[in-house]
Chains A and B, each alone.
Chain A
Amino acid sequence: MQAVLQFLNANMWPLIDALVIVGVFPLMAGYVVLLERKVMADMQARLGPMRVGPHGLLQPLADALKLMIKEDIIPESADRIIFWMAPVLSVTAGMLAFAAIPIGPGFLIANMNVGLLFILAVSSMGIFGIVLGGWASNSHYSLLGALRSSAQLVSYEVAVGMAMVSGLLLAGTLSMKDIVAAQAEKGMWFAFVAPVGFVIYLIGSVAETNRAPFDLPEAESELVAGYMTEYSGFRWALYFLAEYSNMIVVASVATTLFLGGWMRPFASVHAFDFLDFVPVLFMLGVTGYCLYRIPKQTGWDQKFILAIFAGICFVIAAALGMVFAPPLAFLKVPVLGAFWFIAKVMGYVYVFLWVRFTFPRYRFDQLMRLGWHFLIPLSIVNVMGVATALVLHRQAGWSSWVAFPVLLVVTILLAFWLVRAGERRDQQAARSAA
């Protein structure tokens, strides 16, 4: 007993952080699903879920409940143990990656000095879950879909990894906390210093999470049905959760590495200190909007739930506002930082959703061609370019305002050249086949 208490005492903050993160992130993943449905509806000129809770706010809870009480169907000739294990593996890999993500300067579960590598490694384990799921379903269409999906993931890992390396070169460390600190030191988010790296990461992460336009392996209108076909009920919910957790993880990594983590925009420019008030004002605005919508809800239960939601927003606004009181000033950066971090992650996720509903799907061979013939060469050149610019900046004393834009121009020119070379190659192939 004494040992347990000692352990708890020593690791209090990480434990609390772990509980908060493990409790909050799955809920966040669920609400990202709702966000997706609402954004999809908005882009498609309709409303989205409106009935379950005011404006569909309780939809994720209803979906979770429904999926949990659904009948558990296992195909007769499926391998039971692996069938059970595959979604668990995917979800575990997704959740485990949350351990190293810093929401605030002290607000992370495990402060490892190889944090980024840990996240990369752990999220790659999710691929096991996909392949095993496809194999355990004992249907050759599922297996084909799973293999395609894993081929896609593995291919884009290379490009994503290289893009991350270009960010790492600028940061000089793998520890997530220190990466953000490096951006604070530099005074500029790495997305502006190495934009090509950021864009490659953006495209690669869309492919990594099997999202449109790279979602051929799981699309419904294609012939091969995908690894998730035989899963229903709660098992399917686990896969779904794993996909959305992956999205959040990938967005968090992008935020930390390229978008400044928990720093507010223009963190080092004191003239913009008024931006510190944005979180409070935003949450107060949301509260006010909820209160405004309460009279327009039908039925007292909707009104009640919206009132509770408004209450929660107000509490958050109060928490965000309290840090301006002098005794709590030391909490300013962590608490406001948490807001900025989540805001940036949501912005990145919004771009995912936006892209999904705008573009048609890539065919599998076009997808692989994009990864191997375009993204990987471009990311290699990007890494070399960033390294060169850094050397020029640190060793040869070039101003960073000169070195990095030059690198940018060179990389973009190369990107165009690559694209044109690809088109020329396609034309030649078409001509020789005709």
Chain B
Amino acid sequence: MDETRSEGMAPPSVELAVPGADEIVINMGPQHPSTHGVLRVKLRLDGERIDGSECIIGYLHRGVEKIAEHRSYQQFAPYVDRMDYVAAVSNGLGYCEAVEKLLGAEAPPRARVVRTILTELQRIASHLLWLGTHALDIGALTPIFYCLREREEILKIFEKYCGARLTTHAFRIGGLQYETYDGFEHDVKRFCDDFGTKVDEYEQLLTGNRIWVGRCKGVGVLTAKQAIALGVTGPPLRASGVKWDLRKAMPYAAYDRYDFIIPTGTNGDTYDRYLVRMEEMRQSRRICLQAVENIPTGPIMAKVGKVLKPPPGEVYHSIEAPKGEIGYYVVSDGTTQPYRVRVRPPSFINLQAFDTMVRGHLVADVVAIIGTLDIVLGEVDR
């Protein structure tokens, strides 16, 4: 049968081909300081060049989608935080909005704006952690401490708001449970004011640095065509030149009110992904500053009732999480428990591009490429 290949691009190889005479297969085991979780990577090497790779995942599979079928809609909400545990608030936003769509409800304006602020703060926090660990993998020992110091401020705001720093369960289906605390606007504004200079400091430390550029430019190139064909979303897609962000294309929460740009790159290499994420941090700060000026008053919870029984049907709703597009496909059969919840994990699909990106590079680039994809194994495996 004639097979039409998509623009001459071969599908990613599933299994590592048997090594040739001069090749060896080495294993970066599940426990490794730089694989950001339990990821196993098998590399087929010719000398120091990588000819092929295979990612073996599933070490953190917890059966979240199966659990969803045995919990009520509200009971399942804390579980979604645990997937991308670095950016729990975005996961929660996606899920709550998906179920709200299923119910036909809409969160009130005040809730939407507060949700936007918290999600953008979470985006900054997630990118800060990414920057720290990525720099650490490449050898710069200092940025991680500065990044964690800023992230600490954001986590303090989360703790004051909902009691938890990491797995926040900040939003409820229909809006928010907690009113913003006294001083919320002040804290957010103070953080954003400080953060502007800090981002510039990080840029100064890394962006022009010859060694950093040498380690990142040209490493892990993903062209726009490859990225779209592989389903890559988020900063990697934007760094490859595709100007697309769900916050502008299909606005959700309160994003249509605010003014921000979408940074894109040109080459789709590690350096561009770095620049895109740095600029995204700045844009998130901009959104927060605009939002916090003008939080509308009013109720924080829509009238959805205590027991949620959405009419039968299905919905797919996705948002722009820090890692990419996180989507929720929720199927309801009319009972209080969802019939099927499918989470479209950005890290899982971005990780698929790893094989394409790593071929032809040296072993020392593997950690740089894993870092630049910004994967969280909790989301890859669910």
Contacts and interface: CB of A to CB of B under 8 A. Distances in A.
Determine if chain A interacts with chain B: yes
Name B's interface SS: helix
A212 interface: yes
B140 to A, nearest CB: 4
Given A213-B139, A358-B142, A222 B367 contact: yes
B26 interface: yes
A46 B141 contact: no
A430 interface: yes
Contacts of A364: 362, 364
A363 B205 contact: no
Contact of B139 (A45, A223, A360): A360
Contacts of B142: 43-44, 357-358
Contacts of B212: 359-360
B71 interface: no
Given A216-B364, A221-B137, A361 B211 contact: yes
Nearest to B371: A221
B33 A220 contact: yes
A356 interface: yes
A112 B230 CA distance: 68
B145 A360 contact: no
A401 B145 CA distance: 46
A65 B315 CA distance: 64
Interface string B26-42: 10100001100000000
A272 interface: no
Interface string A192-232: 00000000000000000000110110011111100000000
A45 B153 CA distance: 15
B136 A221 contact: yes
Given A44-B142, A45-B146, A223-B26, A363 B209 contact: no
Contacts of B136: 221
A215 B146 CA distance: 22
Contact of A361 (B28, B139, B218): B139
B141 A363 contact: no
Contacts of B89: none
B364 A40 contact: no
B140 A221 contact: no
B215 A363 contact: yes
A11 interface: no
B33 A358 contact: no
A76 interface: no
Interface in A29-82: 40, 43-46
Nearest to A358: B142
A61 to B, nearest CB: 25
A297 interface: no
A433 to B, nearest CB: 8
Interface residues of B, number: 31
Given A220-B33, A366-B214, A360 B135 contact: yes
B292 interface: no
A224 B218 CA distance: 23
Contacts of B135: 360
A49 to B, nearest CB: 16
B367 A44 contact: no
Contacts of A212: 139, 141
B133 to A, nearest CB: 10
Name A's interface SS: loop
Contacts of A44: 141-142, 144-146
A40 B212 CA distance: 20
Contact of B209 (A40, A359, A430): A359
A360 B140 contact: yes
Contacts of B367: 221-223
A361 B138 contact: yes
A289 interface: no
B64 interface: no
B105 interface: no
Nearest to B34: A221
B218 A363 contact: no
B214 A363 contact: yes
A362 interface: yes
A216 B137 CA distance: 11
Contacts of B140: 358-361
A430 B217 CA distance: 11
B67 to A, nearest CB: 34
Contacts of B139: 212-213, 215-216, 219, 221, 359-362
Contacts of A219: 139
B66 interface: no
B128 interface: no
A430 B361 CA distance: 12
A376 B145 CA distance: 36
B33 A221 contact: yes
A430 B365 CA distance: 16
- Which of B28, B34, B135 gathers the greatest number of chain A CB atoms within 10 Å? B34
A222 B363 CA distance: 8
A213 B211 contact: yes
B222 interface: no
Interface of A: 40, 43-46, 212-213, 215-216, 219-224, 356-366, 430
17 contacts: A44-B146, A45-B145, A212-B139, A212-B141, A221-B137, A222-B363, A222-B367, A223-B26, A223-B367, A357-B142, A359-B139, A359-B140, A359-B212, A361-B138, A363-B214, A363-B364, A364-B364
Given A358-B142, A359-B211, A366-B214, 12 more contacts: A40-B141, A44-B142, A212-B139, A212-B141, A220-B33, A221-B139, A223-B366, A359-B139, A360-B139, A361-B138, A361-B211, A364-B364
Interface of B: 26, 28, 33-34, 48, 135-142, 144-146, 149, 205-206, 209, 211-212, 214-215, 218, 362-367
